[in-house]
């Protein structure tokens, strides 16, 4: 066998490591707040790894057939490296995520973010690991509002029989059934077509989504009622993440926290602006505290089995178990790091 010349061996030894591609997929488009978070994350990661990890931003869930559910499954199985997902979809992985979306649990962004960044919210991120995901940080999708093509929704009676598209979540189905509406679940990618054809009359989403997806083109009425809070998590495939060096793992965690903080600030700043633009495109009703109280009362009275107080107690019990599980995960992760990793 011919020996490799010394100068060739030295040259090979000084070559940079092969770049690791990280495909970061999400359901929304380039105009969304979510994409803003991805841009910040990409910039931080590529700069701090000197290009040894490159982040490929994949909008509209293009690699998973425009389906959030498929997208999440692909990240869990290793078909994709990373995703931004709402706690609503993640609740199908672990129902403890429903702690975020108890109706009218949080009065404002400050309250919701304190919960997400505190022990309970961090334990929820840790609860994803047994399912093949590492939750790096929480961002925000926003408080969810209601749009429809039938008429203004100001009282619980206005919801009677309204065909509302909701996420595929038992909690959301239960909320709207309790309020007298007719909830219908479907993939978000199919929403616009079904609103256009009249298969559904209404939908609920944050202001930023209503604006970026141009739902005002097929919906005439917007009710601002902040009925539930919707955070998003930047998640990566657990096996892929564990295969990175500790240094790279730390870089990804730090970049994720910074990106999510930037996205939260960007989302807050834009919310009032986007709502102002929607006022010129739709009939907008902002409910007063007294009007919101009527919906809260109707929900609690119609569904005592899933009232906010009871769901809250279930969430507290679940959280105690999650904290215990998190301790086990920390010990397991430490053992895995000692075993070493690539890159």
Give me the pLDDT at residue 336, please.
54
Residue 280 backbone dihedrals phi, psi, to 5 degrees: -85, -5
Give me the pLDDT at residue 224, please.
98
Domain with 81, as residue range(s), is: 18-308+318-338
CA atoms within 13 A on the CB side of 28: 23
Q: Is residue 244 part of a domain?
A: yes
CA-CA-CA-CA torsion sign (189, 84, 60, 38)? positive
Neighbour tally for 322: CB within 10 Å: 23
Reference 45, options 248, 262, 236, 243; nearest CA is 248
Specify burial of residue 8 (Cβ count, 10 A radius: 0-12, 13-18, 19+).
exposed
Beta strands in the chain (DSSP E): 20-25, 53-58, 82-86, 133-148, 163-166, 182-185, 202-206, 221-224, 229-237, 283-286
Give me the pLDDT at residue 187, please.
87
Encoded tokens for 239: 């096996």
Average pLDDT by stretches of 10, the chain with 343 residues: 43 53 96 94 98 97 95 97 96 94 94 96 96 98 97 97 94 94 92 95 96 96 97 98 97 98 94 95 97 96 55 38 44 55 48
Beta strands in 28-131 (DSSP E): 53-58, 82-86
Q: How far does the chain reach from its first CA to its final CA, in angstroms?
A: 30
CA distance 88 to 146: 16
Give me the pLDDT at residue 4, please.
42
Give me the pLDDT at residue 333, please.
56
Give me the pLDDT at residue 334, please.
60
Q: Is residue 13 part of a domain?
A: no
Output the domain CATH number for residue 288: 3.40.190.170
Give me the pLDDT at residue 322, please.
39
Q: Is residue 1 part of a domain?
A: no
Domain count across the chain? 1
Q: Is residue 3 part of a domain?
A: no
Encoded tokens for 84: 């931004």
CA distance 123 to 115: 11
Encoded tokens for 79: 């078909």
> Is 176 within 8 Å of 160 (Cβ atoms)?
no
Q: Provide the 8-state DSSP code for 131.
A: G
Give me the pLDDT at residue 338, please.
59
Extract long-range pairs of 42-46: CB within 8 Å, 24+ residues apart: 44/251, 44/254, 44/255, 44/258, 44/259, 45/251, 45/252, 45/255
Q: Is residue 67 part of a domain?
A: yes
Q: Is residue 328 part of a domain?
A: yes
Helix (H, G, I), strand (E, B) or coil at 183: strand
DSSP code string of 269-301: HHHHHHHHHHHTTSEEEE--HHHHHHHHHHHHH
Residue 226 backbone dihedrals phi, psi, to 5 degrees: 45, 45
CA distance 53 to 255: 12
Neighbour tally for 258: CB within 10 Å: 16
Q: Is residue 12 part of a domain?
A: no
Q: Is residue 7 part of a domain?
A: no
CA distance 318 to 123: 10
């Amino acid at each position: 066998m011919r020996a490799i010349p010394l100068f060739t061996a030295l040259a090979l030894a000084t070559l940079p490591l092969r770049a690791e591609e990280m495909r970061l997929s999400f359901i929304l488009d380039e105009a969304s707040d979510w994409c803003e978070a991805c841009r910040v994350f990409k910039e931080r990661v590529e700069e701090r790894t000197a290009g040894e990890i490159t982040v490929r931003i994949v909008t509209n869930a293009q690699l998973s057939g425009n389906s959030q559910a498929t997208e999440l499954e692909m990240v869990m199985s290793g078909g994709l490296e990373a995703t931004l997902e709402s706690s609503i979809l993640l609740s199908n992985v672990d129902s403890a995520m429903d702690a975020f979306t108890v109706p009218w649990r949080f009065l404002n962004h400050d309250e919701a973010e304190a919960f997400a960044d505190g022990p309970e919210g961090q334990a929820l991120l840790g609860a994803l690991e047994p399912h093949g995901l590492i939750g790096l940080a929480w961002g925000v999708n926003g408080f969810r509002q209601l749009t429809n093509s039938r008429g203004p929704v100001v009282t619980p009676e206005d919801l009677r029989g309204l065909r509302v598209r909701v996420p595929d979540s038992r909690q959301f189905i239960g909320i709207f059934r309790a309020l007298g509406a007719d909830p219908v679940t479907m993939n978000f990618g199919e929403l616009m077509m079904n609103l256009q054809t009249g298969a559904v009359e209404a939908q609920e989403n944050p202001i930023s989504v209503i604006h970026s997806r141009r739902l005002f083109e097929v919906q005439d009425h917007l009710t601002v009622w902040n009925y539930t809070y919707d955070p998003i998590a930047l998640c990566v495939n657990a096996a892929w993440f564990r295969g990175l060096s500790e240094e790279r793992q730390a870089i990804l965690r730090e970049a994720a926290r910074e990106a999510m903080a930037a996205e939260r600030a960007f989302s807050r700043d834009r919310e009032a602006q986007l709502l102002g633009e929607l006022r010129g495109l739709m009939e907008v009703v902002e409910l007063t505290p007294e009007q919101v109280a009527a919906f809260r009362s109707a929900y609690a009275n119609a569904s005592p089995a899933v009232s906010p107080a009871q769901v809250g107690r279930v969430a507290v019990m679940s959280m105690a178990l999650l904290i215990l599980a998190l301790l086990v995960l920390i010990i397991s992760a430490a053992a895995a790091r000692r075993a070493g990793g690539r890159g």
